[in-house]
Structure 1
Amino acid sequence: MPTLTRLIIVLAILAGLVYAGMVGLVTFVHPTQTEMTIRIPSEKLNPKPDTPK
C-alpha cells in the first residue's frame, strides 16, 4: 500500500503543477488581437456551372 499511496501523491502533485501552469498562462499571457483579411478567389465563390455534354 505505501507504493500505491506514493504513486497517488506523485500524480496529484504533477496534476497540481499542470493546473498551476495553466492558471499562470491564463493570468500572464494576453494574446494580441489583429484584423485578418483572407482573399478568396471569385472562382470559389461563384463557380461556373459545368456544361452538359
Structure 2
Amino acid sequence: MPSLIRFLTFVGVLVAVGFGAVYALATFVTPRPREMTVTIPAARLRPPAATAAAPLPRTAGTDAALDGGATSTQ
C-alpha cells in the first residue's frame, strides 16, 4: 500500500506542475497580433470549365427503348 500512495503522490505532483505551467503561460504571456497574408493560386478560384455530358452507355434496356420495344438478340 505505501507504494500506491507514493505513486499517487508522484502523479499528483506531476499534474500540479503541469497545471501550474499552463496557468503561468495563460497569465503571463500575451500574444502579439500580426497581419497574415495567404496567397491562393488563381486556378483554385476559377470554377472548372463545363464539359459536354458523355452519352449514356448502350445497355439491353436502352437498346429495347431505342428499337421501339423490340427485343435484341446478340
Q: When the two structures are superposed, what TM-score results if normalisation uses the length of structure 2? A: 0.62
Structure number with the bigger relative contact order (C-alpha 8 A, sep ≥ 6) is 2
State the identity %. 34
Cα separation, 2, equivalents of 1:49 and 1:20: 57
Aligned-residue CA RMSD in angstroms? 1.6
Residue ranges of structure 2 left out of the alignment (5+ in a row): 55-74
User: Normalised by the size of structure 1, how large is the TM-score?
Assistant: 0.82
CA shift for structure 1 position 29: 1.1
Q: Quote the offset at 1:49 in angstroms.
A: 1.7
Superposition misfits of 4+ residues, deviation over 3 angstroms: 50-53
Amino acid at match of 1:26: A
Partner of 1:24: 24
Letter in 2 for 1:43: A
What is the aligned length?
Answer: 53
In structure 1, stretches of 5+ residues that fail to align are none
Larger Rg: 2
